A = this chain, B = another copy of it.
Amino acid sequence: MDLYIIRHAIAQPIGSKNDFTDEKRKLTSQGRDLMREAARGLRKLGLQFDLILTSPLVRAVETAEIVAEALGYDQALVQQTVNLAPGASFAELFSEVKRHNGIESIALVGHQPDLGALVSTLVWGDGRASVPLKKGSVCSIDVMETVPTVRGALAWLLTPRQLRLLGKD
């Protein structure tokens, strides 16, 4: 199984206009545009996701929807899970991933610093490594074992700028 770890795009600051909570922060107009361009880079790479799991926070859901749209998927492929919300337990997330054991690739859309710690934990075994993941970054992990826990190899990590350059015609 391949995991693709995607950080949400640029969102509104907390407290602006009608979005007073962190949970409801939407992507900015620029954030949506940049994410669409980055998602074209994912398409150029020929990536296929069988499932897109996303944090239930608005900025993550919107990011997941942009990715699904760019790859031509039905939005039903996007499923929200509290296991990708900020501060959630990796153990719960890994259990959820393992329940989808038969499928080949899952995209996980979420937040920093959680996702950097997730990459670190998947590849190194704990969250100590520094993996900054800019907004709109995508990191690919080849899962090599799921027992006793989910572990994998670092396949690649692209910055949003690199993805946008790739997506250009």
Number of A residues contacting the other chain (C-beta, 8 Å)? 26
Residue A75 at the B interface, CB < 8 A?
A: no
Chain B residue, CB-CB nearest to A141:
B130
Contact residues, A104-150 vs B (CB, 8 A) = 119-120, 123-125, 128-132, 142, 144
Chain B residue, CB-CB nearest to A119:
B154
A134 to chain B, nearest CB (A): 9
Q: Cα distance A53–B78 when bound, in Å? A: 45
Given the contacts A44-B165, A45-B165, A124-B120, A131 and B153 also touching, CB distance less than 8 Å? yes
Q: Cα distance A124–B131 when bound, in Å? A: 10
Contact between chains at A162 and B128 (CB < 8 Å): no
Contact between chains at A131 and B154 (CB < 8 Å): yes
Q: Which residues of A are at the interface with B, using a C-beta cutoff of 8 A?
A: 44-45, 119-120, 123-125, 128-132, 142, 144, 151-159, 162, 165-166
